[in-house]
Each structure stands twice: as C-alpha cells, then as structure tokens.
Amino acid sequence: MGGSSADIEALLVDVTDPDNPTPGMLPAIFRDIVGRLDAAGLPYAVVGRIALTLHEQARFVGDIEIVADLDPDRCEHAAKLVQATRARFVTHMDPQLCLRPVTLTLRPCIGATEAGLLAEAITRPWFGVPARLASAEHLLWLWCHTEAIDHSANASALITGGTVDLHRVQWLLRETDDAGESDQRRLRLTIGDAVLSTTSSLSRFMAERRARLDPNHVPVWRLQPKATGDSDAP
C-alpha cells in the first residue's frame, strides 16, 4: 500500500488554525530545494515522512528531510542552497515569524550504507517535480539505526504496510560499521508493534464480521417502523 504527494497535500492543514497558510507551503518549499539540488548536480535522497508516503499511507508532514552526497566543499554549497530556500520562504520557515514553521534539514550521508541509500533512491513525480525518494528498506534501516520520537511509529507503519523486505533491512543493519545490538533490538520491537497493530485491526474486523453473521442479529432497518401509506389507519 502506498500513497502519493497529493495525499500529503490533502493533510496539510493546521487543525488548530485552519486559516494558517504555512502547512500548505510545504510543497512549494520542497520544489524549491529539490530544484536547487538538481541544478547544482548534488546526489540526494528524500527521507522522513515525505518518503514514507511512497510506501505507506500519507500522514501529516511538517518537515523536509534530505540526505545528500556532500564532501567538505559541497557542504558549504549545500548550506547556501538551504539558506536561499529559507530566505525565499522566511515567513513560513522562521520560528520567530510563525508558530509552526516548516523545517528543512539537509545533511551529508554518513558511511557506505547511506551512500547506498542515495544510489537506490526511487525517482517519482512528487509535488509536481521529479524527486528521489528513499527506498522502504533504507527508511526502516535509518529509523532503526537512529533515535527520534516518531521513528518507532513510522517504522511500525512501514512494516504494517507490507512493502519492506525485512531480511534486507537486517542485512543493512549488520553491514553498518557502527551498528550495535540496540539497532537489532529496535527492529525487533518495531516488528512486534507492527504485528500487534495488525492483529488488533484484524480482531476488530473479525468481531464486526461475526456480529453481522450472527443469526440473532437484527438489522437496524428491521427495527424501524414501516412507513406505509395507511400508517394512519386504526
């Protein structure tokens, strides 16, 4: 199961302030930075929830996360690209000017595994421009290899979607130079969360189905009085 950038756009609403235009500016900011990266010829891959939507259902997105091939010289150039994007959309990216700004992170890839992440990125039309999105396996590897508040939930959703090769992820974790037992433990916990989530959903579905198949179950429409033309008859 996968979604599209249009599914993300449909969710870009500040529920506490529907008139706030900042969430809806994320696609324009995305197009701007991707265009600058392409023009500069910098290899990159989009990660985070924006890339997750390619493999699973869309969720609200408030940040743009990109990994790029940046040597010391390219790092300075990439910083200028980010600075230019932030200057163009300052009213929607500066926390001093808006309550919930769109955040943009562009960082260099670290190690051989992240270099492979760039090489295996999937090109798709995203927010109206061709963009390179991380594969499901590299997304899960990244979320098991690093710590953040929402990584566990995102990883669990990715596994539940059924589009990720878990054996490949385990191989990526083993190949990571600084990988430890904590990475494998996060993967096991995430798999467990995904299984529990799927089992819970299946249990609810089967309970509802059994209720519908119950011979003693009376449909609501049968409980309602008939509306006939002679309803006023004694």
Sketch the domain layout of the chain as residue ranges: 1-134, 144-214
Stretch 52-73: mean pLDDT: 92
Instruction: Tell me if the pTM is above 0.85.
Output: no
Cα separation, 124 vs 129, whole angstroms = 8
Q: What is the pLDDT of residue 87?
A: 97
Distance in angstroms (rounded) separating the CA atoms of residues 158 and 137: 9
Residue 178: strand, helix, or coil = coil
Q: What is the pLDDT of residue 154?
A: 81
Task: Provide the mean pLDDT of the chain.
Answer: 82
| pLDDT given at position 153 | 79
Write the CB contacts of 82 (distance below 8 Å, at least 6 apart in sequence): 33, 104, 106
**Alpha-helix runs per DSSP H in the chain:** 5-9, 26-40, 48-55, 72-88, 90-93, 111-119, 136-145, 151-160, 166-175, 181-213, 220-223
Give the model's pLDDT for residue 5. Answer: 96
Q: For 172, how many CA atoms within 13 A lie in the half-sphere containing its CB?
A: 26
Query: What tens digit of pLDDT does each residue of 135-153 get?
Result: 999 998 888 777 777 777 7
Q: Is the pLDDT of residue 193 over 90?
A: no
Amino acid at 182: S
Using 50, 70 and 90 to split pLDDT, how confident is the model at 226?
A: low
Question: Residues 46, 132: contact at Cβ < 8 Å?
Answer: yes
Q: How far is CA 36 from the centre of its chain?
A: 23
